[in-house]
Amino acid sequence: MLRVIVRRLLQLVVTLIALSALIFIWLRNLPGGPVDALLGERATPETRALLTKALGYDQPIYVQYGKFMQRILTGDFGNSIRTGDPVIEVIGRAFPATFELALAAMIIAVGLGIPLGYLAARWRGRALDHLTVVGTLLGISIPIFFLGYLLKDVFTQNIHWFPPSGRVGIGLDNTNVTGFFVLDGLLTREFDAAADALWHLILPALTLATIPLAVIVRMTRASVLDVLNEDYVRTAEAKGLRHRTIRGRHILRNALLPVVTTIGLQTGALLSGAVLTEKVYNWGGLGTLITDSITGSRDYPVLQALILLAALVFVVVNLLVDLSYAFIDPRVRVR
């Protein structure tokens, strides 16, 4: 098991190094580039040449990359072109919002997806199965930005169940300790603020959870259907084992491997959905920061760090998925 962990960690490091090189070269070769982004309309051939030399962009690309990696290893991602603040601080202010939203979305997707998929497989051909199949098709096919505006119109404009946008209500943003507003309200014993932050979180989380929920339901249903036809399940039923034992030890545990893989992939892909969800609900997280860095100020240092962060999250999640296999299925541990 230790060898597996070490091997996966080495693969993680190699993957991040290769990706950082690709990102570095790609951003340096974009039209305009960081120099024009910094100078804006004031750019002249003379000022462009001076700034290029001051930033070291006149040096060979491998020298620039080496210095870039040295800065990253010390936690220095440079300063934001748009605000002038250190990139790590800019991302640190936006990260809690997206993490809180993504965590809530995955809790909804996993908490509903696995039971619904299991029940749909157990009651195959019945009403619940048909409703689940139709619902998952709708969840996958409806664009997330359209669903966001639809839910927002219904639940905030017509029946007024949820707030329309933002993370907290007016006057309740003074409990910011960690940046995770629900947790901050609990830590400071401001339970009204925690409830308000949770109330603001529900609708964006439901919107973001739609696609992962649909995918997890379908994967769980297909996986459970495969396991139900295995000989060891029929043998357990013939031996008279309790249904709870058969369900937990023989069906769900053996059906979980592809489901866990799906959960890992959907977790890594949540950032792309968060971009649209945060735009609809004015959430102010990493998705908004990515949009502003690309379309607004061409903030290359922030964009570079955000891409690396997304890659790191994706690789770490897949590492955790690989390690979880050994705990779910002992046969993987033996191999």
We report the CATH number of the domain holding residue 234 as: 1.10.3720.10
Predicted pLDDT of residue 205: 92
Pair 32, 94 in one domain: no
Identify the weakest region by mean pLDDT among 98-102, 152-156, 316-320: 316-320
Q: Is residue 297 part of a domain?
A: yes
| Percent of the chain whose pLDDT exceeds 90 | 10
Pair 266, 173 in one domain: yes
d(CA 211, CA 213): 5
pLDDT of residue 312 exceeding 70, the answer is yes
**Angle ∠(170,174,177) on CA atoms, nearest 5:** 135
**Angle ∠(307,36,23) on CA atoms, nearest 5:** 20
The pLDDT confidence band at residue 22, using thresholds 50, 70 and 90, is: confident
With beta carbons less than 8 A apart as the criterion, state whether 12 and 315 touch: yes
Pair 34, 137 in one domain: no
d(CA 299, CA 289): 10
Measured on CA atoms in the order 244, 249, 251, 252, is the torsion positive or negative? positive
pLDDT of residue 114 exceeding 60, the answer is yes
H runs (alpha helix) in 40-154: 45-54, 61-73, 87-122, 127-141, 144-152
Pair 292, 219 in one domain: yes
* Residue 184 parent element (H or E): helix 181-187
Count other Cβ atoms within 10 Å, centred on residue 66.
12
Mean per-residue pLDDT, 102-110: 92
Q: Is residue 82 part of a domain?
A: no
Predicted pLDDT of residue 322: 78
SS3 content of the chain, % helix, strand, coil (to 5): 80, 0, 20
Mean per-residue pLDDT, 228-245: 76
Structure tokens at 58: 């006149």
Identify the weakest region by mean pLDDT among 2-6, 238-242, 328-332: 328-332
Pair 309, 163 in one domain: yes
Mean per-residue pLDDT, 220-228: 86
pLDDT of residue 333 exceeding 70, the answer is no
pLDDT of residue 144 exceeding 80, the answer is yes
Domain edge (last residue) among 23, 47, 74: 74
d(CA 35, CA 42): 11
296-310 pLDDT per residue, tens: 667 788 888 888 888
Structure tokens at 242: 């309790």
The pLDDT confidence band at residue 216, using thresholds 50, 70 and 90, is: very high
Maximum mean pLDDT: which of 42-56, 158-172, 203-217, 272-286:
203-217
From 247, 312, 242, 331, select the one nearest 20 (Cα to Cα).
312
d(CA 6, CA 4): 6
Mean per-residue pLDDT, 39-51: 71
d(CA 173, CA 258): 41
Pair 66, 96 in one domain: no
Mean per-residue pLDDT, 54-65: 78
pLDDT of residue 95 exceeding 60, the answer is yes
Pair 62, 146 in one domain: no
What are phi and psi for residue 86, nearest 5 degrees? -60, 140
Beta-carbon contacts of 11 under 8 Å, excluding residues fewer than 6 positions away, are none
What is the number of structural domains in the chain? 2
H runs (alpha helix) in 229-269: 231-238, 243-245, 253-268
Q: Is residue 84 part of a domain?
A: no
Pair 138, 283 in one domain: yes
Pair 236, 295 in one domain: yes
Mean per-residue pLDDT, 150-161: 86
Q: Is residue 266 part of a domain?
A: yes
d(CA 282, CA 168): 11
The pTM assigned to this predicted structure is 0.82
The residue length of the chain stands at 335
- Radius of gyration for the chain, computed over Cα atoms and rounded to the nearest angstrom: 24
pLDDT of residue 41 exceeding 70, the answer is no
Pair 102, 66 in one domain: no
**Angle ∠(117,120,123) on CA atoms, nearest 5:** 150
Pair 177, 110 in one domain: yes
Q: Is residue 313 part of a domain?
A: yes
From 95, 102, 66, 98, select the one nearest 302 (Cα to Cα).
95
Predicted pLDDT of residue 36: 66
| Average pLDDT for the chain | 81
d(CA 325, CA 333): 8
Predicted pLDDT of residue 197: 84
Predicted pLDDT of residue 296: 62
Range of the domain at 317: 90-333
